[in-house]
Amino acid sequence: MARPTLFDSGGYRGRRRFGALELRDPQRELFLFRRRLLYAFLFVLLGFGGLFARFVHLQVVQHGHYRTLADSNRIAVVPIVPNRGVITDRNGVVLAQSFSAYTLELTPARIANLDQTIDQLAELVDIQQRDRKRFKKVLEESKNFESLPLRTKLTDEEVARLAVNRFRFPGVEIKARLFRHYPFGEVASHAVGYIGRINDRDLERIAEWEESANYKGSDYIGKVGVELSYERELHGTTGVEEVEVDSGGRAVRTLSRVAPSSGNDLRLSLDIKLQEVAEAAFGDRRGALVAIDPKTGDILAFVSKPGFDPNLFVDGIDPTNWQLYNESPDKPLLNRPLRGAYPPGSTIKPFLALAALTSGKRTQHQTISDPGYFQLGGGGHRWRDDKVGGHGLVDMYKSIVVSCDTYYYVLASETDIDDTHRFLSQLGFGRKNDVDIEGELTGTLPSREWKRRRAGNRVDDRKWYLGDSISAGIGQGYNAFTPMQLALATATIANDGVAFRPHIAKSIVNTKSGEQRAVAPQPTHTIAAKPEHIAFVKNALVGVNREGTGARAFAGTKYVAAGKTGTAQVYSLKGEKYNAAKIDERLRDHAWFIAYAPADKPRIALAVLVENGGFGAQAAAPIARKVLDFHVLGRAEPGAAAPISSPRDVDDTSD
């Protein structure tokens, strides 16, 4: 013991200030050591006690909280997309159906180098330039966390090759998806429409329906045609699957499942065979045709030429095709029957005749003398008739059959435009007619009120002039109707003045119960006209095809068809003589034909428009004939309808 005093710290003998033991006595040394060891033991107990308290806190006190966290970790609620309903024509021919196929999908948010990944994938499966372009386009429109299709409809071999290499590509998945297929392609494309990827505007619409939950997991929605207007019938109810997922989000097993219920099938009133006949009759020409069953309002054919291939739109159209469609001067994406507004030309005459009979402005026997033109007052503007030298004495029957313009110039000069407006709007002109395909235009049925409200700075632009009435009197001027409106008006006349809502859906079929909900024919109203007046007009329309402007096209029919030709000016000739050969094709007149058959018991009423087709009798009437033949006789006459640019033939000019 060297310096005992310095380090003696009291307490135990021999214990130093800095804690060193200076005992020779092994017993005491051992005692002190064991006491320290006891402290250490207490320290151990304290530590383990603390741990135990922590475990109790976690596993008993907070157990519920952590249980919930663990469950929300592992359980994911996955929507199961329902099968979209099938669309068929009135005879059950499938126009749109869904099938399941594998797609290669990429989640851009999880992929560092998108281009490189696509290049690597291209070594495994066939990825065309247009697939890449389409993917880029979809990518620009998407939100970041979506998985987007790169290649669709993979073959079994491609699926196998990708599955083997999947580990190399995080963020790349093979998914089984439902695809929409339109077996008829362009045929009836504007009626059936197509589905496409849901965009922000669609999301708003879904939110308005309060269907957001039902569209969880749905990638597609109807965009055009009945796919759009019957979206909520076709979509179905989304199912829910609770799955256990691992930390990578991969489903491990199913915990519970509420099966989806498929969308309702939609049976259209459309007759696809008739539709094909009608589209074939158009050949390469642009135009529209609407055929309606006058007794029910069933739309039998709905043609808009040129059409488009709806199959291209389903997965997002590639930019090349999009450009082709969007920039084509033929406007294949324009729904002409509903959204094309054209001057009706002479097809308006029978309706004006009926208006004059109803108002008492004319009787059927009153005649005028037609010198070949109409002149207002003494030396005013001359409105030409089509026939040089005029038709001579013309009564109402003849005015329709030969389509005498002068008769209607005179009539218009004596009739108030607002009276005409009131009468014609009953027939569906200048308004929407609640057709079950979206996008109807109102068209223009002019009136003083309409002109006053029309945009225009000068007083002249807003004031109604007599000259306006006279132009309108032969279906030119401000008049602009859709083919649907003309078809509806024709159907209403054919049905003796009882109007039906035009509709393309015939019945909705619940796929589970088989229960059918028919779209009942709804007579909307009866026009204010006397039956004998309607009968007179109908008789005159039969006369058109028997001895008038439609006679050539309807020569030799085995049934009696009623019709009326029409030619709508696109380009004002200002008194010059029309020479088709000299005029650019797109400035040529539009050809119209309205018709119904059989005349005594009409089963079909239609309106045909051929854009820049020239004369109605030449371009439009033969198409109408083919459609009527097929529908009434059940077979089509062979051969194309009519050549497009035959020069004006004097015998055919009365229009």
- Give the catalytic positions in this structure: 346
Q: How far is the CB of 167 from other proteins (least distance, A)?
A: 15
SS3 state at 577? coil
Element (H, E) at 487: helix 483-494
Q: Rounded distance, CA 599 to CA 605, Å?
A: 10
- Tell me: does residue 246 bind other proteins (CB under 8 A): yes
- Report the DSSP beta bridge partners of residue 606: 291, 595
Give whichever of 69 and 587 is closer to other proteins, judged by the CB atom. 69
**DSSP E strand stretches across 18-110:** 75-80, 87-88, 94-106
Contact string 67-96 vs other proteins (x = CB under 8 A): x-xxx-xx----------------------
Give whichever of 251 and 555 is closer to other proteins, judged by the CB atom. 251
- Tell me: does residue 32 bind other proteins (CB under 8 A): yes
- Amino acid symbol at 94: V
Give whichever of 67 and 517 is closer to other proteins, judged by the CB atom. 67
Phi/psi of residue 549, each to 5°? -65, -20
Binding part of the chain for other proteins, among 39-47, 492-500, 584-592, 593-601 by CB under 8 A, reads: 39-47
Half-sphere exposure of 248 (CA within 13 A, CB side): 7
459-478 positions binding other proteins, by CB under 8 A: none
Q: How far is the CB of 201 from other proteins (least distance, A)?
A: 34
- Tell me: does residue 34 bind other proteins (CB under 8 A): yes
6-25 positions binding other proteins, by CB under 8 A: 7, 9, 15-24
- Tell me: does residue 438 bind other proteins (CB under 8 A): no
| Of the candidate residues 8, 146, 158, 244, the single one contacting other proteins (CB under 8 A) | 244
- Tell me: does residue 373 bind other proteins (CB under 8 A): no
| 501 within 8 A of 437, measured Cβ to Cβ | no
Phi/psi of residue 447, each to 5°? -155, 170
- Tell me: does residue 62 bind other proteins (CB under 8 A): yes
Q: How far is the CB of 254 from other proteins (least distance, A)?
A: 14
Distances (CA, A) of 189 to 184, 302, 305, 308: 8, 9, 10, 6
Secondary structure in 3-state letters for 359-372: HCCCCCCCCEEECC
Binding part of the chain for other proteins, among 189-197, 242-250, 512-520, 624-632 by CB under 8 A, reads: 242-250
| 333 within 8 A of 186, measured Cβ to Cβ | no
Give whichever of 72 and 129 is closer to other proteins, judged by the CB atom. 72
Half-sphere exposure of 391 (CA within 13 A, CB side): 26
Q: Rounded distance, CA 510 to CA 505, Å?
A: 14
Q: How far is the CB of 11 from other proteins (least distance, A)?
A: 10
- Tell me: does residue 58 bind other proteins (CB under 8 A): yes
- Tell me: does residue 242 bind other proteins (CB under 8 A): no
Contact string 252-291 vs other proteins (x = CB under 8 A): x---------------------------------------
- Report the DSSP beta bridge partners of residue 135: none
| Count of helices and strands (H, E) across the chain | 23, 23
Helix axes 621-628, 272-282, angle to 10 degrees: 160
Binding part of the chain for other proteins, among 30-38, 351-359, 516-524, 644-652 by CB under 8 A, reads: 30-38
| 226 within 8 A of 266, measured Cβ to Cβ | yes
- Tell me: does residue 558 bind other proteins (CB under 8 A): no
Binding part of the chain for other proteins, among 26-34, 233-241, 381-389, 481-489 by CB under 8 A, reads: 26-34
Binding part of the chain for other proteins, among 57-65, 598-606, 610-618, 622-630 by CB under 8 A, reads: 57-65
**How many residues sit close enough to other proteins to count as binding (CB under 8 A)?**
52
Phi/psi of residue 470, each to 5°? -70, -45
Retrieve residue 233's tokens. Answer: 């019938």
Element (H, E) at 534: helix 531-547
Q: Rounded distance, CA 334 to CA 559, Å?
A: 34
- Tell me: does residue 36 bind other proteins (CB under 8 A): yes
- Tell me: does residue 42 bind other proteins (CB under 8 A): no
Q: How far is the CB of 53 from other proteins (least distance, A)?
A: 9
Q: How far is the CB of 14 from other proteins (least distance, A)?
A: 10
- Tell me: does residue 145 bind other proteins (CB under 8 A): no
- Tell me: does residue 167 bind other proteins (CB under 8 A): no
Closest by Cα among 283, 18, 313, 290 to 180: 313
- Tell me: does residue 360 bind other proteins (CB under 8 A): no
Q: Rounded distance, CA 125 to CA 104, Å?
A: 10
Distances (CA, A) of 79 to 200, 214, 233, 256, 262: 20, 9, 19, 12, 14
- Tell me: does residue 66 bind other proteins (CB under 8 A): yes
| Of the candidate residues 10, 27, 60, 651, the single one contacting other proteins (CB under 8 A) | 60
Q: How far is the CB of 324 from other proteins (least distance, A)?
A: 47
- Report the DSSP beta bridge partners of residue 266: 87, 508
Q: How far is the CB of 71 from other proteins (least distance, A)?
A: 8
Residues binding other proteins (CB under 8 A)? 1-3, 7, 9, 15-24, 29, 32-34, 36-37, 40-41, 44-45, 47-48, 50-52, 54-56, 58-60, 62-63, 65-67, 69-71, 73-74, 244-248, 252
